[in-house]
A and B are shown apart, each in its own frame.
Chain A
Amino acid sequence: MSVPPLKLPFLDEAAARHRSRTSDEPDWLLGERLDAIRRAQELPAEANQLFTPYLDLRSARFAEIEPYAEAGVAPGAEDAALPPGASVLLHVREDAVVARVLSPEARNAGVIVETFAEALDNHAAILRPLLEGSASVPETDAFAQVARALSTLGVFIHVPDGVSLSAPIVLRWSAGTPGRGLINRTVVSLGADAHATLLEEQMDVEPERVEAAAAGAPATQCLWWGTVELHLAERATLDVAGEQNFGKATLAVVNRHATVGRAAALRWSLASVGAQLHRSRIDNLLAGRGSSVRQVEIGFGDGNQLFDLTSYTRHIGEDTTGDLLSKGVFLDTARGYIKGLIEIQQTARGTDSFLGEFSMLLTRKARSVTIPSLEIDQPDVRRASHSSSVGPIDETQIFYLMSRGVDRDTARKFIVLGFLEPVVARIPLPDAQDRLRALLEAKWPASAPIPNTTAA
């Protein structure tokens, strides 16, 4: 009764070999691709028996899509302007790196921002161990293996030992050309005692088309399929903020995989608003003693969007902490499948782990599935719990706001935005934060004026 493998017209060995050859890759990396091709072709599309009933790819028309076979750095990319308040900007537009700028601070500190092709020439000793042996993506996840097999663009970001970057690294992806898709990998490594903030922005290449697609005819789909593979050495800290606002015809497949070393701390703040189908999987490996992850993830769906959000956290080291929160708000016939699994291995004494999955349905046809699971082999925990709730907007809260002179619809909107605010408040750049607020507000169907939310 297991699920069949993924059926993707572009998944074949010749494509993997072609990509490896055109990027001049070393043999070991071709070997990685071929191993991944075999896995991607053989693995069930959902390998976890717990979650097989909630794999739904019906809205995806992969046959329409021809992924880019080559990608590279566009001329003039180094001349782009650095956004105010950022230390690094890397902008990938469709199949090309169109901007790559480092602040003097980042450059002097030895921060590396390169494509895999460049990094394998210049920093192979750092990158190779992170790519070899499939350690940095889940071995049994078919979606991750597709990226490992067929990626045409690899991005490598490295923050050396002891470097503390005060301003965020901005990684911007623009995609949306009908019928095309980018398959990519991003590897981020932080040395010991390094501290950084990463802002990942995913947007439509032509934002005005968001409106057109929402209005009617089914547009030709496009694809963005990528990984973020994080490696935090001891005592490193990394804040990752993500804003996914692709167009409504985009299929977005994201694998995020983090290995967290001794006393290192990772924070995720992820918001998803766009895409027809957003399939996301996050893996947090709390390997080092005293390592921790805090994760806040929100999805706000309307129309017939599907947010398929899975989060795995493995407690391996002693005294690790996991604090994971997912929230979904769904309008129209939008659906959210929020799946989570916390695993406390026998070695993980002193674990503190919490998993929360909360949904709000705003229309009768919307649907929410939450599966917060626990697998525990070590009872010596500080805390191991999860909670979940699904509910309508609290009428007493609406009543309270209305008694203050706010009309009903605006009151509802306030309450929903408040529900999502914990993620918004953690987006590092003020501009990006405002943009996310505007996106969430724009989801609101009614004509009521946008409330003036205050920046946190």
Chain B
Amino acid sequence: MTSTRDAVRDRREEFAFHDDLVYLHEAKRGLTRATVEEISALKNEPDWMLQFRLRAYEHFLKRPMPVWTDGLDRIDFDKIIYYRKPSEREEKSWEDVPEQIKQTFERLGIPEAERKFLSGVGAQYDSEVVYHSVKEELSKLGVVFMGTDQALLEYPEIFKKYFGTVVPPEDNKFSALNSAVWSGGSFVYVPKRVDVPLPLQAYFRINGENTGQFERTLIVVDEGASVHYIEGCTAPIYATESLHVAVVEVIALANSKVRYTTIQNWSNDVYNLVTKRAHAYRDSRVEWIDANTGSRKTVKYPSIYLREPGATADIISVAVAGKGQHQDTGAKAIHLAPNTKSRIVSKSVSKDGGRATYRGHVKVAPGATNAVASVRCDALMLDDLSRSDTYPYIDIQEDDTTLTHEATVGKISQDQVFYLMSRGLTENEAQNLIVQGFLEVFTKELPMEYAIEFNRLVKLEMEGALG
């Protein structure tokens, strides 16, 4: 706990820059059929992918904007640049990465992190994976960890077998948009019975004003294998609105274990609209550990479809909504087979007029006998300008389901603040510590360095907000 009393630098300031970089290819603003064809042609994609993109593009045009959450109509799709390619080809080793981009990553701290404990790095610089390295032992184990574009060309069979099967383009308006213009993201394949010993990590950044970022991540974990994937985001701050529309697909085959951890800290002008979904097969276990502190508006409900008996879903969702922010987040657990289990824990903090919304769906379909599901939502509101909503949907169609749902909303207990202040903390420190404690269910699931970083982020969010 002493770390909480250290002077913390504002690390977001450090990341709030953008480089004057000459893009080798920059698509025109706005989205047309020609944009989609051009992206596909530039990437030398097989025809099936072009057809997939075009099908998604048509659906995107037809699909109305969702109305159940507000503010999305402010996005001007014609102002967005849909594709950028900062360097000609993917680089295999760190030495080959262009100097300017390397500097950006130096400032993000990637090399240090890699030295310390990471087993692989896929770093996305704008729309393309530019740097990528996989440690020797992972290659030997047969683990594939590379940019999604590269995987399409190098692993066409496995790619085609799974791509778009978990989140079809027609799923929602934004999955259609991503499917039409996707670029970059990570591809992970873990072979049977391989246990990836250390987390795989990817850093993402949006650089460049009005650049849409449409990465696509596909993770296939074969029978009996296990992996932990971590993504974290930072982005430069710009006045005009940026758009981040990602799709993440996870396939957890029988007896596998997958954990996917996200720390989302986009700058406060980004619309972050992400479809994340996993298919969990027999006796597998999927965990989404998802934190959202940045962005202007995030719409994201990590989902797990429990498709075969014995599968388990575990979702921890954390949101911090500050001034001008709306975190519309939550989770979905869809029980489709007997003896499946799900647990959802959601914690949200709203302050300075921010709005935190939990939206969740637990469904037990006919045939999914003996399902067990639990949902726990807690919200902390730090002032009366802020807002907290809870919208849980619970749809049960089997008589032997056991489901519990609980939610509470409240403010910081003044007794706790008083107690901590009597121990020598300032009011701000006390409140900060209480918020950190409230979010600990999330923090304790993180690797240590991330946990420290996340606590610093929370502290940063809290500073100036209170007292």
Which of A's residues lie within 8 Å of B, judged by CB? 1-2, 49-50, 53, 346, 359, 361-381, 383-392
Contacts and interface: CB of A to CB of B under 8 A. Distances in A.
Given A1-B64, A346-B384, A373-B392, A385 B409 contact: yes
Contact of B399 (A364, A370, A373, A379): A364
B394 A371 contact: yes
Given A365-B366, A370-B394, A386-B406, 19 more contacts: A361-B396, A364-B369, A368-B397, A369-B394, A369-B395, A371-B391, A371-B393, A371-B394, A373-B389, A373-B391, A374-B409, A379-B384, A379-B388, A386-B405, A387-B406, A388-B404, A389-B403, A390-B396, A391-B401
Most buried by A among B68, B366, B386: B68
5 contacts: A374-B388, A374-B407, A376-B387, A379-B382, A388-B405
Contacts of B388: 374-376, 379
B35 interface: no
B71 to A, nearest CB: 14
Q: In this complex, which of B382, B384, B390, B406 has the most chain A Cβ atoms within 10 angstroms of its Cβ? A: B390
Contacts, number: 121
Given A375-B387, A377-B387, A384-B409, A364 B403 contact: no
B93 interface: no
A356 to B, nearest CB: 10
Interface residues of B, number: 38
Nearest to B370: A392
B130 to A, nearest CB: 39
B399 A362 contact: yes
Nearest to A366: B399
B399 A49 contact: no
B398 interface: yes
B30 interface: no
Interface in B364-392: 366, 369, 379-384, 386-392
Contacts of A391: 401-403
A383 B378 CA distance: 12
Given A49-B67, A384-B408, A387-B405, A364 B393 contact: no
A188 B408 CA distance: 34
Nearest to B397: A367
Interface of B is mostly: strand
A369 B393 CA distance: 7
Nearest to B402: A391
B25 interface: no
B400 interface: yes
A362 B398 CA distance: 9
Contacts of B379: 376
Contacts of A50: 68, 391
B92 interface: no
A327 B410 CA distance: 26
Contacts of B406: 385-388
A387 B377 CA distance: 10
Contact of A361 (B382, B389, B399, B405): B399
Per CB-CB distance, the 4 closest pairs between chain A and chain B, nearest first, are: A379-B381, A379-B411, A361-B399, A388-B405
